Amino acid sequence: MTDSAPSRLLVETREIDPVEDLLEFTDPASPLVWLRRGDGMIGFGSAARIEVRGATPRGARARTLAQAWRSWSAAAVVHDEVGVPGTGLVAFGALAFDDTSPSSSVLIVPAVVVGRRGARSWVTRIRTEGAAEVGPVAPRPYGPHWSATVGPGELGPEGYQSAVREALTAIADGDLGKVVLARDLVGTVPADADLRRLSRALSTGYPDTWAYAVDGIIGASPETLVTVSGGTVTARVLAGTASRGADADADTAASLALTTSAKDLDEHAYAVQSVLATLRPHTSALTASEQPFALKLPNVWHLATDVEGELRNGGSALDLVGTLHPTAAVAGTPTDVALAAIRRLEPFDRGRYAGPVGWVDARGDGEWAIALRCAQFGAADATSGTIAVVAHAGAGIVAGSDPESEMLETRVKFRPIVDALA
């Protein structure tokens, strides 16, 4: 674990004139972003950071981060004249999918946060006691347009179908009920690429998703892992996917086929029960709709179920992240058996793909999504003048899954990030 934990954080939030484009205020090379329908916040600089590395038991990384966050929050001195979600002391976070991953899990407290919610905009400045305040952060014009060079990774279409067949054998043998398998694309972008352009393309093209950027992972997720606000817990479960139709009639038919598909309904039920079983010990009055609804996105239909309850044990959003992740929607069931199958069948480490990404405030409130429809960026290579980039997309495998259809589903799920990279 690496930890730049301060003895005390001094935090001041004040209202500012309306901000039209939040992305102009974040770092072009390393953006910190959380946006949905134009509202949200960006971060700039780093007042504090904690990074957890090395193999740990499932959920231990999130617990370590949650404990550190409670300590930081308890010691902080906060002056917040705005008092809406996202003001005061906040941290952006991104966790590895697998706690045995060599990739780290991180919480970052920005030196400056610029946010907007409805008609109100604000700036929060955060510093350690005794440190100088960061100077004014001015909007920066976007850099030139750029495009990525992206191609097949370690698991191409044929290899992916082979992995699906192996998973189906394990399911038929009764070893597990569902496993989510991903494949990868790899490539490069120019070393001086303004990565805010990727966030802008995703947030504009997919406004109903969570557009996020944290420590090199950038994407637009349709799936809320958990939201905590004033003691109310909400989550949206997505599992079961169909491509949008080419015209209105075909689109209606695609939606109907998805909502009546026994295979997709079974896959969705696994995911919903996983979330309900995990949340039940931590909540009261937990409810979920009896039947999933079809969620329409620009490129796909998803089966979706909204879950809501009341937090009853004084926990935070980050505590629930550690409890919920990984859900059956991104791993499978039983969880430990599914994780073992993923490690065996995927020839790569997922890094932070399909891990939790979001933010938490000093009260423990926050919004966390699952890092989907994303790309992960490495450090710039001075020799080649490029930055390595990897993207992943997955599909849930259950009894009755067809290897070719599952591969085609991943192709559809790649589209948002591949189009944005281009």
Q: DSSP for 7-40? A: S-EEEEEEEES--S-GGGGS-SSS-EEEEETTEE
Decide if 290 is catalytic: no
Per-residue pLDDT reduced to its tens digit, 353-397 = 999 999 999 999 999 999 999 999 999 898 999 999 999 999 999
* 61 SS3 class: helix
Q: What sign results for the dihedral spanned by CA atoms 123, 52, 28, 224?
A: negative
Token code pair at residue 64: 């370590």
Q: What are phi and psi of 356, to 5 degrees?
A: -70, 140
**In the block, which residue shows the tokens 């750029």?**
146
Q: How far from chain centre, in Å, is Cα 123?
A: 24
Pairing state of beta strands 112-117 and 374-381? unpaired
d(CA 286, CA 308) in angstroms, rounded, equals 6
Average pLDDT over residues 131-136: 79
Q: Give, for 238, the enclosing helix (H) or strand (E).
A: strand 232-243
Q: What percent of the chain has pLDDT over 70?
A: 99
* pLDDT of res. 267: 85
* pLDDT of res. 275: 86
Per-residue pLDDT reduced to its tens digit, 317-335 = 999 999 999 998 899 999 9
Which entry of 24, 178, 267, 367 is annotated as an active-site residue? 178
What confidence tier does 1 reach under pLDDT thresholds 50, 70, 90? low
Residue 136 in this model has a pLDDT that exceeds 80: no
Residue 197 in this model has a pLDDT that exceeds 60: yes
DSSP 19: -
* pLDDT of res. 20: 93
Per-residue pLDDT reduced to its tens digit, 67-107 = 999 999 999 999 999 999 999 999 999 999 999 999 999 99
d(CA 356, CA 62) in angstroms, rounded, equals 10
Between 2 and 111, where is the model more confident? 111
**Strand partners of residue 392:** 184
**Strand partners of residue 42:** 33, 114
Average pLDDT over residues 252-258: 91
34-48, 203-217, 281-295: which has the minimum mean pLDDT? Answer: 281-295
Overall pTM surpassing 0.95 (yes/no): no
Average pLDDT over residues 97-125: 96
DSSP 135: -
Which entry of 15, 81, 158, 223 is annotated as an active-site residue? 223
* pLDDT of res. 378: 95
* pLDDT of res. 48: 95
Decide if 178 is catalytic: yes
